[in-house]
Structure 1
């Protein structure tokens, strides 16, 4: 019903590694060519668990955005901004907190999971309990209807949908809603108004999903409708009230298969990463010194690729011919471990070369990054202000 938008964010943890690229950024780069995208630095979210060590957030945010740009996120295709530079996030979060049942927050799966994992932190804070609601506000403030997430984040999207539904139910009670919807229908013109009424009847009386889909297309294509009239007609179509906040859908992304240098998942906490802008010499040294099949003690000993972390990297970077060469050569001791590692080294360096090239100008002139972020914050804030205008009016605290 609204212009389709994709929203995604990352906590500023500093320089990113290949796990971030294959798990998130490669997908962002694809999405930016398909939808209007908003990508943000979730600096307030960083404080939910790192409230006692805030000093590195600003520097980490800039480092992370340079990595985004180096990876291929294009500021002419996507809006890049910082959460805390759009204060409407906080305002919507506050207003939503007034109507969010406490039990909804306590049942979010990651609430207890994170408390169990981060036992060294005191997470009995309001900010930590409320972070799913802040996450919901991040999405709802832009009326984003697509949010790329992994399976583990789907409950957060469902929570956001419930919050939007509850808000619309509580505050979408527009006086003479039906009369205003009928007036809005006239803006469609006689032919389209008749079709809309027919589709609405088919959906509400027979439950025809096809009729609902056709009506959605009809309304999306109607250029003559104002924003308010469009949302009234969507609400009337589905037998609901005025829709102020949009229920987002999870855009499921594949879990990253990027292994670290030790065969575990690539993670800073494991110390097994290759950074996105790491120099070639360091990358070469890291891969050359990777542990291999522990049973292969001498060069003449046959090995088993399935027990070797290097083979996991071949699964990411090598074509079928190279993988077959590794399987045959390792199992027969026809190739040594250094030989086996070389195609991976070459592939990682080739992948990183354009990233280092793109990053160079931002590293040499940090003002370029600040300008990109400033432009993105301005664009994002305009969208956020539009939503907040409607939210305040719906709640009844609009003093204009």
Structure 2
């Protein structure tokens, strides 16, 4: 979605990572995943997490969090953006095939036990350790905070540790850049268990997707809502066409007969991610590299692949959007189920800290 005071790079605090979860057992492992509701989800989200979540829900106990409280740490000047996108992101979940009967979808802010656990965990980590977290450092630079860092943003690792440990998740799907957050979560878990003198909280493993971050259509390193270089899951056919025309290819491929390059070529990166006819795609790559294949042909194939993939997702999204009240009811029910789990963990934590007076 954070941990005694040790270096994030030390062996003791390193998070175990994997690209595939372990097979389901008689007691399904718990997965926690989620998104900040700051805008509609896009192809990067689909590759990075959504597609996998649809599969996980059949074999694991999966909690999917709409992290609205966390989103406010750098959106307090536009709180309506966060509020309205809670339902919009939920619509994307339903559209891709996440089943609320198999996955528990919850709203972070509506589970006060998460904030309570965060408060306790902040006493188990120093400001210096928070500032050393590589993920936090990178995000501070990205947002241009310099030293004007919102306190809630700086303490996000403790908040994420609360989110993960509240549901006793043992598997957390994240990108490679988020592994330091999992390491710090495990540090906090271990320190708390030492204080309690027994294992109450559960250490977690980072699950890194085989396909990493999807670049934006402009060739930037990351597809991002804030950079405006996305193709949204709910994009119309015309929007997909317009976006594909802007997709970055090989700037040195000036003539059709010139040999093309695949490295950094966003059109082929997308085809690798979404084209199911791998044999035909490999033939196209070979043709492009030796020359004689224009970028327009590559983009035509890419558009066909994306149109076919996104059309049913868009249709389902439009159908669910006809009754947003029902979508909100689904979120209310999922949040209620999740709160029961988090409240039980919070009670265990308070008892271990001697805060069970009555």
TM range (shorter): 0.7 to 0.9
Distance 1:148 1:42 in 2: 15
| Partner residue of 1:321 out of 246, 258, 280 | 280
Distance 1:252 1:294 in 2: 31
Deviation string, structure 1 residues 99-157 (Cα, Å, up to 9, x no partner) = 43333323222232222222257643321221110110111111111111222222211
Q: Which runs of 5+ in 1 are unaligned?
A: 173-240
Tell me the residue number matched to 1:136: 161
The TM-score with structure 2 as length reference comes to: 0.84
Distance 1:282 1:305 in 2: 27
In the TM superposition, what is the alpha-carbon distance from 1:60 to its structure 2 partner?
1.4
Tell me the residue number matched to 2:206: 250
**Does the residue aligned with 2:114 lie in a helix, a strand or coil?**
helix
Tell me the residue number matched to 1:48: 73
- Over the aligned positions, Cα root-mean-square deviation in angstroms equals 2.4
Q: Of the two, which has the highest radius of gyration? A: 1
- Which structure's residues are more often helix, by fraction? 1
| Partner residue of 2:334 out of 357, 376, 379 | 376
| Partner residue of 1:114 out of 139, 144, 168 | 139
Tell me the residue number matched to 1:33: 58
Cα distance, 1:245–1:368 mapped onto 2, change above 3 Å: same
Q: How does 1:252-267 map to 2 (within 5 A)?
A: 252-264=208-220, 265-267=222-224
Distance 2:257 2:166 in 1: 60
Tell me the residue number matched to 2:262: 306
Distance 1:9 1:276 in 2: 16
Q: Which runs of 5+ in 2 are unaligned?
A: 1-24
Q: How many residues align?
A: 329
Tell me the residue number matched to 1:182: none
| Partner residue of 2:311 out of 347, 353, 377 | 353
| Partner residue of 1:81 out of 81, 96, 106 | 106
Distance 2:248 2:327 in 1: 38
Distance 2:121 2:291 in 1: 64
Deviation string, structure 1 residues 207-233 (Cα, Å, up to 9, x no partner) = xxxxxxxxxxxxxxxxxxxxxxxxxxx
The TM-score with structure 1 as length reference comes to: 0.75
Cα distance, 1:259–1:397 mapped onto 2, change above 3 Å: closer
Q: How does 1:271-286 map to 2 (within 5 A)?
A: 271-286=228-243
**Does the residue aligned with 2:262 lie in a helix, a strand or coil?**
helix
Deviation string, structure 1 residues 220-261 (Cα, Å, up to 9, x no partner) = xxxxxxxxxxxxxxxxxxxxx322222222223335353332
**Does the residue aligned with 1:273 lie in a helix, a strand or coil?**
coil
**Does the residue aligned with 1:266 lie in a helix, a strand or coil?**
coil
